[in-house]
Every structure is written in C-alpha cells, then in structure tokens.
Chains A and B, each alone.
Chain A
C-alpha cells in the first residue's frame, strides 16, 4: 500500500484536486490511483480532479477508460496536464482542459516572431468542431474548418486552410504582429493580442483573407492578393 501511494501525489487546488503521477508504467499508475480512490471513497466522492501525467504518452482509449473509471466513482476528471504533446492533444480531443490556470498575459510586451517557441507550430489535419478548444504556445495551422463554437488560442499566428467560423485568438500573450489567415474568414469573433473584433465586415465572396492589427492599432481583415 505504501508503495502504491508513493506513485501518486495529491494536492488541493482552489477548485478541486490535483493528482500528479510520475513516469512509471501507466497501468501501474492507473491501478494505484483507483486503489487510492477506493480506499477513501468519502474523500474523493464528487471531486473535481486534474491529473498531471508527467510525460506519459496517452491515447484516446486510455484516457477514456480513466475518465470512465473515475466517473463511476463520482469523480469528475476535468483536466489532464502533460509534457507530452500527444497526450495534450488527446486530452483536448476529449474536451478536457490541459492547463490548470492560464498564465496572465504581460502587457505592452513586444514579441518578435523569433521569440515564439522556436518557430514551433501545431499542425492539425482535421475540422475543429463546436466545443473544441486548442491552446498552443506557438503557431497553429489547421487543414480543415473551424466551426462555430470552436476556439483556437495561439501565442503565434494562426493559419486555417479552410473556413473559419469559430473564434481565434492569435498573439494571445500580447504579440500585436500576429496574423490570422483563412481561406474563408467568417469568424464569430477574432482577437489579436488584446484587440477584439466581433464585427469584421461580412464578405460575401469566399476569397482568402488575412486579419492583422493595422497602423491605426485596429484589428482589420484584408483580402490576400497574390503578388
């Protein structure tokens, strides 16, 4: 029992519990967690749980199983925090949060493009449907549509090879030179840095567009013109 306990660290958060696992095999950790929960049902019943899985690489079926097992015990799994991009992506696919609290954007800080996470981009080859939220500390490239109700929050630029009808926030930590490009730009809302635009003038034609902050400091969309 002592041995299984050492695998897990439990911390109280403002609005729930944070359980940290280490890199021991997933099955052992899962079993340890369930044993722990079953040992103190009264303590865990009704808890909101965030799970820090370190660098475990987890796929959909593993996380679904975990979530179901927890939910059968009255525990609501709302977040999975991981160092592995695969696990983060899996968690996001299942609608789980991947950060416990968002870092506060620092005001008036200029970022050059080189500062953005070593030019790293998240590439997603699918349509983002309502309820999907992608947060990424770099650029985001989507090959597919962004439907109404979907959200992308990127510290860098956002490129959508498809229709943008959801919400996109580019330059989320204050980078005013970030841009948002889409083949069809019809968003519910756009944000770049701290500029918000709910009413970009509706464009009837579906030509590629690019949104940026212009010289007057306003968020503006313009058609992309091949040079």
Chain B
C-alpha cells in the first residue's frame, strides 16, 4: 500500500508542530508502521533535536534536492525504532533552496516503500509552508486554545481549502481542562465552533512533553503520560481506527461534550 503523506502545520509558531510530528512518528512506528519524517523548516531545523538525532546528521534535505547525496543517505534511522527515519532540514540554507515541485519529487520516491511520510511545516504561510503542503495527501492543522493561534489556524484552513488540499483535520494542543472549567481558556467546543473542521485529537497540557522534548525522547514513548496517550490515539485514528477521545476531565463532562462534537459534521 502506498504511503499516506501527512503534513502538520499551524500558521502560528510555537503551538507544537514539531512536537506533534515527532510524537506521531514515534507512535506510528511503535505500532509497526514504516515511517519517514521530513523536517520542512529549512534554516531553523529542530525536529532532529526533539527526536534526539541531531548528532547523526551527515546529509540533509537540500543535499538530496541538489544531488549531493542519494535519498537513502540523508535518512537517519531512529535510535530505538528501526522502522522510523528522519530526513533533516538544512541549517545553513533558507526556504528558497526548496520548491514545491522538489518536495513532490522527493516524497514520490518514498511513497512506495513506507506507510507514512510525516512533514513538519515551518510557521507562517509563505514559501516554506507551500513546500510543506505541496506533497500532502492529508493536512493536520494544530492549534492551541488561544485566540491568536485559532485565528491563524483559520487562515491556514482557508488556504488549504482554496488549494483544494482536501478537508484538514484539527489537533488541539496544550488544552488545560482546569482553566477551561473556570472559563479562562477557550474550550475544545469554542475552537471547533469557529474552525468547523474534523477533530482528530486533543492533547492536554503536560509538562512531561517539554522534559522529553529536551531529552530527545518524544513523550509518546512514555506509557504513563496523558499527552503521550493522546498522541498515540491520534496515530491510531490516522490508521483509520475509531478511538474514543481521552477523558481529560475527571468528571467526564468534557469528554461527553467532545464526543458529541466529534460526532457532528
């Protein structure tokens, strides 16, 4: 079966694109899929750091595109998961080194041999973003429950619709159920109400995410972390499984409301 090519993007920076890509990759690969991640943030690479593979980089994506190495030479195998690979971004070049057609060519070579190709998009809606979505079969838009992040997600979803990239799916990251309960944070319903797209996951605020990102071991490896569980659930949904949403609130009311929302078109 040819690979599913999934781009994670957000518009706004710092909402968790790179963390999501690293964790979804780990979750998919732990579950037996063959996965390649591509860091599309050329000039500001950091997917390699979050995955703990920085010290193994020899060649990067620009080397592949400009013909200085073969594709397989730029693919770094993960330390723990033998079926997980990373194609790192170039640190010393900028977005103009890659074009949307370069991305299409590169991804085409990966489609036959892998199950998932995950592309990490840079922030913004300029060249780097266009590169990142060029080859995508499916786009996951990630946002935080904050007005500015949701506004940017809305803009990105609008562009994806205009480019006929198919319906985007939404990940709400860093939701804090306690704050939502006190009406100090947008709820998942508020966000979905505005964006009106399919919800594929809600990841709770969890400090283990930061700790594990700094250690270069994505939180999806951590069986006790709630955020890790949320990412593993998203990975299963990407494979077409129907997985109930996490109960983030001990009283269960949030979960019921989200279930209701998720069921609606």
A interface residue numbers (CB < 8 A to B): 60-61, 64, 68, 71-72, 74, 93-95, 126-132, 145, 147-149, 165
| Other-chain residue from B100, B155, B163, B164 in contact with A130 (beta carbon distance below 8 A) | B155
For the A-B complex, the count of residue pairs with Cβ-Cβ distances under 8 Å equals: 47
| Other-chain residue from B99, B127, B151, B163 in contact with A64 (beta carbon distance below 8 A) | B163
**By the criterion CB–CB under 8 Å, are B162 and A60 in contact?**
yes
Q: A127-B196, A130-B155, A149-B154 are in contact. Are A68 and B162 (CB under 8 A)?
A: no
Which residue of chain A has its CB nearest to the CB of B164?
Answer: A60
**By the criterion CB–CB under 8 Å, are A71 and B164 in contact?**
no
How long is the Cα–Cα vector from A64 to B165 in the complex, in angstroms? Answer: 12
A64 shortest CB reach to chain B, Å: 6
| Other-chain residue from B99, B101, B159, B194 in contact with A147 (beta carbon distance below 8 A) | B194
Cβ of B152 within 8 Å of any chain A Cβ, yes or no, is: yes
**By the criterion CB–CB under 8 Å, are A129 and B158 in contact?**
yes
**By the criterion CB–CB under 8 Å, are B151 and A130 in contact?**
yes
A120 shortest CB reach to chain B, Å: 24
How long is the Cα–Cα vector from A106 to B100 in the complex, in angstroms? Answer: 45
| Chain B residues positioned under 8 Å from A93 (CB to CB) | 162
**By the criterion CB–CB under 8 Å, are A131 and B155 in contact?**
yes
Using A126-B161, A129-B158, A145-B196 as known contacts, list a sample of 12 further A-B pairs with CB atoms less than 8 Å apart, ordered by residue number in A.
A60-B162, A68-B99, A68-B100, A74-B96, A94-B163, A95-B159, A127-B196, A129-B155, A129-B161, A131-B159, A132-B158, A149-B155
Q: A60-B162, A147-B194 are in contact. Are A130 and B154 (CB under 8 A)?
A: yes
A7 shortest CB reach to chain B, Å: 25
B interface residue numbers (CB < 8 A to A): 96, 99-101, 127, 130, 151-152, 154-155, 157-159, 161-164, 194, 196
Which residue of chain A has its CB nearest to the CB of B160?
Answer: A129
Task: Give 13 A-B contacts (CB < 8 Å), ordered by A residue.
Answer: A60-B164, A61-B164, A94-B162, A95-B159, A126-B161, A127-B196, A128-B158, A129-B154, A130-B158, A132-B158, A145-B196, A147-B194, A165-B194
How long is the Cα–Cα vector from A137 to B203 in the complex, in angstroms? Answer: 45
| Chain B residues positioned under 8 Å from A95 (CB to CB) | 159, 162
How long is the Cα–Cα vector from A74 to B95 in the complex, in angstroms? Answer: 12
Which residue of chain A has its CB nearest to the CB of B158?
Answer: A129
How long is the Cα–Cα vector from A128 to B161 in the complex, in angstroms? Answer: 11
How long is the Cα–Cα vector from A95 to B162 in the complex, in angstroms? Answer: 9
Q: Which residue among B96, B127, B162 has the maximum number of chain A CB atoms within 10 Å of its CB?
A: B162
| Other-chain residue from A72, A132, A145 in contact with B99 (beta carbon distance below 8 A) | A72
B130 shortest CB reach to chain A, Å: 7
B11 shortest CB reach to chain A, Å: 9
Which residue of chain B has its CB nearest to the CB of A128?
Answer: B158
A152 shortest CB reach to chain B, Å: 14
Q: Which residue among B101, B130, B158 has the maximum number of chain A CB atoms within 10 Å of its CB?
A: B158
| Chain A residues positioned under 8 Å from B99 (CB to CB) | 68, 72
| Chain A residues positioned under 8 Å from B151 (CB to CB) | 130, 148-149
Q: A60-B163, A93-B162 are in contact. Are A129 and B157 (CB under 8 A)?
A: yes
| Chain B residues positioned under 8 Å from A61 (CB to CB) | 164
B236 shortest CB reach to chain A, Å: 29
B157 shortest CB reach to chain A, Å: 6
Q: Which residue among A126, A149, A165 has the maximum number of chain B CB atoms within 10 Å of its CB?
A: A149
| Chain A residues positioned under 8 Å from B158 (CB to CB) | 128-132
How long is the Cα–Cα vector from A129 to B196 in the complex, in angstroms? Answer: 10
B153 shortest CB reach to chain A, Å: 8
Which residue of chain B has its CB nearest to the CB of A74?
Answer: B96
